[in-house]
Every structure is written in structure tokens, then in C-alpha cells.
Structure 1
Amino acid sequence: MTNVRLKVASKERIILVSLFSIIVISISIDLYGDIQENLPLKHFIHELGLLSLSLVAAIYQMLLIFKRDQEITSFASQIKDLETEKAAFKQHFAKVKNDFTQVLDQQFTTWGLTPVEKDIALLLIKGMGMKEISQTRSTSEGTVRQQAATIYRKSGLIGRKELAAFFLDELFS
């Protein structure tokens, strides 16, 4: 996107310089003709003023375009830096997530949970309700409640909140 914007700015610069060049050249040619015709000094000063104003406006516009181009380049650099930072964060977060998943699995194994119970425990930690879990796993809600009770018994924990807190307290302490 920034490359497109820079190309547009370059086209704007070319058009602007061309227009001001045409104005300056036209006024200069007219001034030369006026000098040859010996027109009154007032007319000559008037056109010289127009020429000066055109030059000042051209320079001012070029400075504005130059400043905007610098800002665009700076923003493009900042965007690139943020994208690099975001990619690094995502990579780091993926590793942390993988490590946390391994810790969960190790603890579930220590508690002697079956693969199905591990899955249910993970869904409970994620905050899903019994109905959601039963729909996700295509089982009855009663079966999920029974499996959750088995998980709490094997882990020695009282309920869903304590199960989640068991892992989250360690994570944030």
C-alpha cells in the first residue's frame, strides 16, 4: 500500500512541477515580450509579481510534497517495524501456547486421565459449559457431567473453577 502511495506522490510531484513550470515559462515569455514592446512599468511590475508569486507557490508546494513523502516513508518504516514485532510476538506466543499445552497434558497424565477426560478437562478450562461440551463432542450432557465428576475426583479438585485456577494461578504467579 505504501508503495502505491509513494507512486501517487511521485505523479503528483511531476504534475505540480509541470504546471508551475508552464506558468513560470508563460509569464517569463510574456515578460520578455512586454520588455520588447516597451509597455508601461506598472504592467511589467504586475507580471513580475505574478512570476514571483508563482515561484514562491511552486517552492512551497514542493516543500509540502517533500515533507509528506518523508512522513509516508516514516510511516511505512513504522508499519514494517510493527509487522516484524507482531510476527515475533506470534511466534513467541505459539511457543508459549505449545509449552502450556504440554504442561496441561503432563498434569492430566499425572492425574491418570483418559484421552476423553483430557479433552473434556481442556474444554472445561477453556470455560465451556456442559451443554456446549456435549454438543461439541456429540454426547449427552449427562455423560459429560459424569466425565467431569471423574476428572474432579482424579485431580482432587472441587469443580471447574478450581480446575482452571490450578493452572492459571501457576501461570500468573
Structure 2
Amino acid sequence: MQTVQIPLDRASGVAIEPRSFRNTLGHFASGITIIAGASDGEPIGFTCQSFYSVSTEPPLISFSVMLNSTTYPKIRATGRFSVNVLSHSQHEISNQFARKGTDKWAGIDWKPTAKRNPVIAGTLMWLDCEITAEYVAGDHYVVIGRVHEMSTPEWHAGQPLLYFKGQYRHLLQLEAG
């Protein structure tokens, strides 16, 4: 795997204040995932809302993680990871994995995939992936992963945990009538 630096165009002359940029992007609702792996036989992971599908042939996904992450380098060293898409009832898990310096796996029920990556119980769905590319883009890595295993349709029950305007949200179910 090669890390590539993506050049950024600084010729626009428009200064965008980081907090304003973040607030504006907060109007884009996104799902919440836990990117997980194993290091020295122990589960590791972090909360990630920047996740999306890239390709179906071959099956590729992507996520972004800050350059100063302390967990991602351990995942990178193994070359593989799982993506756990959280359900609407798992906001506490999202908060737990977002904290630094704590035991993120305390009280978390999980099982390993065939490649030994953690799958968190009760997630909406999961994927098991191999890192195929990584790019530096500003203050983040953009990571591309090839999917080798995934949850079955029977697994996919419930509603997603969403993040919108700085708060967790869930879908409202309207009754047909």
C-alpha cells in the first residue's frame, strides 16, 4: 500500500473559518460507524462518521480518519479492519469509542470475523475489509478498503444511528394510513 499526498488548491483566495465549515457540513446527515481491528490480539477501534461505498466491482468502501489518530496506525499495521454501522440504540457506544484514553471495549459485546476483526453485537450491519490504498488529504487520511466478508441480510434489522447538526438522530417511522 502506498500513501499519496493529495495536492490542495489554495488559489481561491477565500478564507474559510474551520468552525464555520464544520457547522455548515453538520447539515449533512450521516450514519455512525465504528472502525475496528485487532492489535496484539486485543480489539481496537474508533468512531467514524465519514464512511461511504466506493465501488461494487470490486467491492470497495472508504472512510476518513484524522492524521493524529492514535488508533488508526495500529489498524494500518495489520492491513485490515471491520466497519460496524451503528443502530439507533447505540449512541452510547459511539460516545465510548470517540473518547481518548479509556477502555473503549469495556462492556462491549463483540465477536471476531474470520480475519479476527471485531463485530459489535446489535449493529445494523458490518463489513470486514483489507486496506488497499491510503491518501493524505488535508488533516485526514482517506482510506480505501476492499470488502472480503459482510453481514447477511438476516443481520440487517433496525434503524441507523444518524448524526445531524451536532446531535444523534434517528429516523421517524410514519404509519401508513
TM-score by length of 1: 0.21
Q: Which has the higher contact order (CA 8 A, sep 6+)?
A: 2
Asked which structure has the greater CA Rg, the reply is 1
Where is the strand percentage greater, Structure 1 or Structure 2? 2
Where is the helix percentage greater, Structure 1 or Structure 2? 1
